Amino acid sequence: MATSNKKNVLDLSFSLITAVASLSIIFIIVGIFWILVRESAPAIHKFGFIDFLISTEWNPVKELFGAAANISGTFMTTALALLFAVPTAIGIAIFVTEVAPNFLKGPVGIAIELLAAIPSIIYGMWGLFTLAPIMSRHIEPFLQKTLGKLPVLEVLFRGTPLGIDILTASVILAIMIIPFTASIARDSFNLTPAVVKESAYALGATQWEVVKNIVLPYSKLGVFGGIVLSLGRALGETMAVAFVLGNNHKIATSFLDAAATITVTLANEFTEADSDIYLSSLYYLALVLFVMSFIALAIAKLMLIRAERKYSR
Amino acid sequence: MDIEQKRKIESIVALVFSTLAAFAGLFWLVFILGDVIVHGIGALKLSLFFNDPVPAGMAGGGLRHAMVGQLMTTFFATLIGVPVGVLGGTFLAEYARRTKYARVISVLADIIVSVPSIVIGTFIYAIMVRPLGHFSGWAGSVALSLIMIPVVLRTTEDMLSMVPWTLREAAFALGAPYYKVIIQVVYRGAATGILTGILLSIARVAGETAPLMFTSFNNNFFSWDMSRPMASLTVTIFQYAMGPYDDWHQQAWAASFVITVFILILTLLGRFVLKWRFKQ
Amino acid sequence: MKKAAALVLAVLMSTLAVTVHAEETLNGAGATFPAPVYSAWAYEYNKVTGTKLNYQSIGSGGGIRQITERTVDFGASDAPLASEKLAKDNLLQFPAVIGGVVLVVNVPGIKAGELKLDSDAVCKIYLGEIKTWNDAKIKSMNPKASLPASDITVVHRSDGSGTTAIFTDYLSGICPAWKEKVGSGTAVSWPAGIGGKGNEGVANYVKQQSNSIGYVEFAYAKQNNMAYTLLKNAAGIFVAPSFASFEDAAATGDFDPKKDFYLWLNNAKGKKSWPIAGATFILLAKDKKDSNMKTVKFYDWAFKNGANKAKELIYVPLPKSLQDKIRTYWKANGIL
């Protein structure tokens, strides 16, 4: 009897330890949220909620802070990056699942995943030393000469091509998120039942028609989930953009303008804010970022779960 | 041109585009890796591994302090993150199997895997650096471990769920208590899978910069002392690449090379372990 | 296997414990302006005494913030804090070395010391009102230089910076429009340009971007062979940045221990004075008695032994009389 009691105690304590360990996830989320709210309380009190989000002021001398310029920088780089990354990523997924001969599928898949494993600081440094000069010398002047001559669009390509701007940052960001989007799109494509595809082929459909009319509609939800997930990641990326964005606290009107994202502002100013309200405002920015990316990632996750359920039925 | 031909051509055009996209992806990989390798190897000197930095503008100096710092910070992050992650994943896959709690936690874990790592840096600054009165290697390790925990937890959960239930039943029949079954039977069955998760999670945090800037900070000197500021390759790359000195740029390339090789090896190792396991 | 791992861990831990007590360490952070000379001093000091002084140049704003939060042993700032602010946060302050801020340009064909700028031109460039290098105003001062029609890329700091404080204080002193629109401080709302992190980041961007202009401590320009400009000083004379012109500016300053040495050295009246100069300061937390002693010991050593190294990097070492005032200030506050 004694041994079985001892067994029970051990069993119970092991289950308790694991239970506590699983709670760590809750602790992390609640802890971060609580600390960010606590630290940003003075700034929330002083600048309010809506006012902070829409104010473009970022003036440490007058101690007036608003998030609009940073938020717009974050959204502009993210949107542009998605614009570049999504078509490429879907193309890659189509290639890997439908087009590539079998012996290529594995290596290409691994290569794309290696792209995801390269640390973001490497992307950032490569961006500064290699990509930025190419952008400023060749690509941006070329864009100014072509797209920059069109009416309306012309506004987006004004300014001196420095290579330190939204465009360069977005290209780097795009390269970073291609692998995430591609691997989720590939997984979703693979969920398309082979039977359905085969019957379409049997009816004489071309490969592209199968992709367009069967695979893509079938995996729509999963692909969207992947895109939103990449969006969530891009919102929070720091080092890859910190080198090449130029840290300008203004709402950019041109792709060739320097800008600042929430993450870049934190990286540059967090340890250096001399007044208390300045630091508190930075925590407020971190809170805004945390909530935004949490919502985006949660939506992505729910979409992916629904996609999975739909197909596993 | 008849419809049949048009459809064929359309198909070929579309598939050529997808092939081009795949090559675009490969192009970037080759471009970035190639650049890091060419510049990195050019800048790599044995002395970088044995020397500590000298004042800016002076020739010489190395990265020993940053390499050791990076290893220490990552090592202790693993020491914190892996047990918590494995045990947490165990609870979800075993005791809380198929409960709502397990589902919620694993969804939340999937979400915070991608939460901006710089936010974790600000969080640790507020709860460790400021109260303790100094930047420290410990703070850096804890920040990294918070990124590791959800990764390890999710892989463990998945891998344990894949161990067939009958295996546990066989052990129960022999009169073994649940905890023993988990440790001696289930863990053994899922060992390679969990190991892969751990390898990939180390690869994930070893390249992190943002959460270290406000926690382990940086140190110009070689140090074993985890309770003091600790250098790391990543923060050093940020400092050196942003700096004006050519010597610094060279060292930043060398550091990038070292860290990229380290991470790619871990990643590939993880993949191969996984592949080898599922072939069996 | 497990035993081996445990053994390795135990050995590792014990080496940790041993090394922790064997060495003296000191952590400072702040101004990037004096970072070249501090790190050179720290390097020497480590060789002589074994003490490791880890100085991280994160910016003066960072120096002020981190010593206020007590996360470092000392802070460093080129922007002096007023006595009230020091009293509020229980801090002490003393100058460590004097240096000059210079404008560096990267314009094809323009070499160091070739371009002349007066205060009005500098102000208008940084306000974004002078947009190209061949602007009439710049041309009139430099009739011989071949100035391109290219846009000027203005580079400033992105972090909290004492160099920025010195530079914006200079601009506020000479340019009413600047004072009204922007003001002065460690971080300001810049009307134009891109921001680099630290003196290092500004120097890096200027090196990389053609047709750019930035402001950095002279050591950074010197170490990286950058093209600095001449400036018109308060006496209306164009001067070159040099040890002599910095020293001249420094000589006009009267550092008063009663005000915790609070002083700006911009726009000195002397004929040979460089117009943008400043002392860089060390901030100590009164309650950190142990580390204050170590920090002060280091600076005492640097005052005695570091003058040559400072001169080599074109910083002006503090005159003997000021050093003595500082030592008295330390003693009066119970350190040393």
Q: What does the alpha-carbon distance between residue C111 and residue B240 come to, in Å, rounded to a whole number? A: 26
| A59 vs C: CB within 8 A | yes
Q: What SS3 class is residue B64? A: helix
Q: Name the band, by pLDDT with cuts 50, 70 and 90, for residue A125.
A: very high
Asked if C86 and A299 count as a contact pair (C-beta separation under 8 A), the reply is no
Asked whether the beta carbons of residue B221 and residue C200 sit closer than 8 angstroms, the reply is no
C242–chain B Cβ distance below 8 A for any pair: no
pLDDT for res C306: 93
DSSP 8-state code for residue C81:
P
Among B245, B246, B247, B248, most C C-beta atoms within 10 A, so best to mutate, is B245
CB nearest to C203's CB, from B219, B223, B244: B244
- Which residues of chain B lie closer than 8 angstroms to C15, CB-CB? 224
Counting Cα atoms < 13 Å in the Cβ hemisphere of C87 gives: 6
B229: contact with C, CB 8 A cutoff: yes
Q: What is the dihedral of CA B241, C155, A289, B232, to 10 degrees?
A: 20
pLDDT tens by residue, chain B, 280 residues = 688 888 888 888 988 998 998 888 889 889 999 999 999 999 998 899 999 998 887 778 899 999 999 999 999 999 999 999 999 999 999 999 989 999 999 999 999 998 999 999 999 999 999 999 999 999 999 999 999 999 999 999 999 999 998 888 888 888 888 988 999 889 998 998 899 999 999 999 999 999 999 999 999 899 899 999 999 999 999 999 998 999 999 999 999 999 999 999 999 998 888 777 766 5
Q: Is the dihedral of CA A28, A34, A37, A40 positive or negative?
A: negative
Contact C56 B243 (CB under 8 A): no
Q: What is the pLDDT of residue C13?
A: 52
Q: What is the pLDDT of residues A45-70, one digit of tens each?
A: 999 999 999 999 898 888 899 999 99
Check residue B195 and give its pLDDT: 92
Percent of chain C with pLDDT over 90: 82
Phi, psi of A254 (to 5 degrees): -120, 150
In A51-135 the beta strands, taken as DSSP E runs, fall at 58-59, 64-65
From B14, which residue of chain A is nearest by alpha-carbon distance? A208
A256 and chain C: CB distance < 8 Å anywhere? no
B49-277: CATH homologous superfamily? MetI-like (1.10.3720.10)
Verify whether the Cβ–Cβ distance A115 to B29 is below 8 Å.
yes
Query: Using 50, 70 and 90 to split pLDDT, how confident is the model at A112?
Result: confident
Look at residue C1 in the predicted model and tell me its pLDDT: 43
Q: Looking at the predicted structure, is the pLDDT value of residue C16 above 60?
A: no
Q: Does C167 touch chain A (CB under 8 A)?
A: no
* Among B25, B115, B118, beta carbon nearest to A92: B25
CA–CA dist A51, A287 (Å, integer) = 15
Predicted pLDDT of residue A1: 43
Å between C15 CA and nearest CA of chain A: 30
Q: What is the pLDDT of residues C190-200, one digit of tens each?
A: 998 999 988 99
- The number of angstroms, rounded, from the C-alpha of A275 to the middle of its chain's C-alpha atoms is 31
C291 touches chain B (CB under 8 A): no
Judged by average pLDDT, the poorest of A30-39, A265-274, B246-255, C39-48 is A265-274
Query: Is C16 or C329 the better-scoring residue by pLDDT?
Result: C329
Task: Name the closest residue on chain A to residue C189, using Cα atoms.
Answer: A59
C277-285 vs C91-106, strand pairing mode: antiparallel
Question: C99 CA to chain B: closest CA distance, Å?
Answer: 17
Nearest CB partner across the interface for A273, out of C160, C188, C195:
C160
Q: Do A274 and C158 count as a contact with CB atoms less than 8 A apart?
A: no
Q: Which tens digit of pLDDT belongs to each residue from A192-231? A: 888 888 898 888 888 888 998 889 998 888 899 999 999 9
- In one-letter notation, the amino acid at residue A121 is I
Cβ–Cβ < 8 Å for C329, C257? yes
| pLDDT for A7 beyond 90 | no
Tell how strand C194-196 and strand C153-157 pair up: parallel
Q: 264-283 in C: which are within 8 Å (CB) of B? A: none
A248 touches chain C (CB under 8 A): yes
Query: Which H or E element spans position C36?
Result: helix C35-49
A149-174 residue pLDDT tens: 888 888 888 888 889 999 999 999 99
Half-sphere exposure of B205 (CA within 13 A, CB side): 36
Shortest alpha-carbon distance between residue C121 and chain B (Å)? 26
Kindly report the number of other CB atoms within 10 A of residue B168's CB atom.
18
| Mean pLDDT in residue range A28-46 | 96
Strand order across the C116-117 sheet: C116-117, C230-232, C238-239
Q: What pLDDT does residue B1 have?
A: 61
Alpha helices in chain B (DSSP H): 3-43, 47-50, 64-90, 100-113, 117-124, 130-132, 137-162, 165-173, 178-180, 187-206, 210-213, 233-242, 246-279
C315 in helix, strand or coil? coil
Residue from the list B84, B119, B206 with its beta carbon closest to the beta carbon of A290: B119
The whole-angstrom separation of Cα B201 and Cα B192 is: 14
In this prediction, residue B279 carries a pLDDT of 65
Task: Tell me how far apart the alpha carbons of residues C124 and C122 are, in angstroms, rounded to a whole number.
Answer: 6
Cα separation of the two ends of chain B: 53
pTM across the whole model: 0.91
Phi-psi sector, C85: left (phi>0), alpha (psi -120 to 50), beta: alpha
C-alpha C204/C-alpha A282 separation (Å) is: 26
Q: Is C318 left (phi over 0), alpha (psi -120 to 50) or beta?
A: beta
Cβ B249–A129 below 8 Å, yes or no?
yes
- With residues binned 3-state (H G I as helix, E B as strand, rest as coil), the percentages for chain A, rounded to 5, are 80, 0, 20
- Number of B/C CB contacts below 8 angstroms equals 85
Of A122, B44, A258, B243, give the one whose Cα is nearest residue A131.
A122
Average pLDDT, chain A: 90
Chains in touch with B (3+ beta-carbon pairs under 8 Å) read A, C
Q: Which helix (H) or strand (E) holds C311?
A: helix C307-312
A25 pLDDT exceeds 80?
Answer: yes
Please give the mean pLDDT across all residues of chain C. 90
Pair C76, C29: CB distance under 8 Å: yes
Tokens 């009107």 locate to A253
What domains can you pick out in chain A, each with its CATH number?
Answer: 50-312 (1.10.3720.10)
Contact: B177, A100; criterion CB under 8 Å? no
N- to C-terminal Cα distance for chain A? 48
Average pLDDT over residues A302-312: 82
Given an 8 Å threshold on Cβ–Cβ distance, is B219 in contact with C200?
A: no
Query: Residue C317, by phi and psi: left (phi above 0), alpha (psi -120 to 50) or beta?
Result: beta
Q: Does A13 touch chain C (CB under 8 A)?
A: no
Name C103's bridge partners. Answer: C215
Which residues neighbour C298 within 8 Å (Cβ) at sequence distance 6 or greater?
C26, C41, C42, C45, C51, C53
Tell me how close the Cα of A224 comes to any Cα of chain B, in angstroms: 16
Annotated domain spans of chain B: 3-43, 49-277
Q: Which of A61, A164, A268 sits opposite C189 (nearest CB)?
A: A61
Residue B90 Cα, gap to closest chain A Cα (Å): 6
Chains that touch C (3 or more CB pairs under 8 A): A, B
Which long-range contacts (C-beta less than 8 Å, at least 24 apart) are formed by C256-260? Answer: C257/C325, C257/C326, C257/C328, C257/C329, C257/C332, C259/C82, C259/C83, C260/C80, C260/C81, C260/C83, C260/C86, C260/C92, C260/C93, C260/C94
pLDDT higher than 60, residue A26: yes
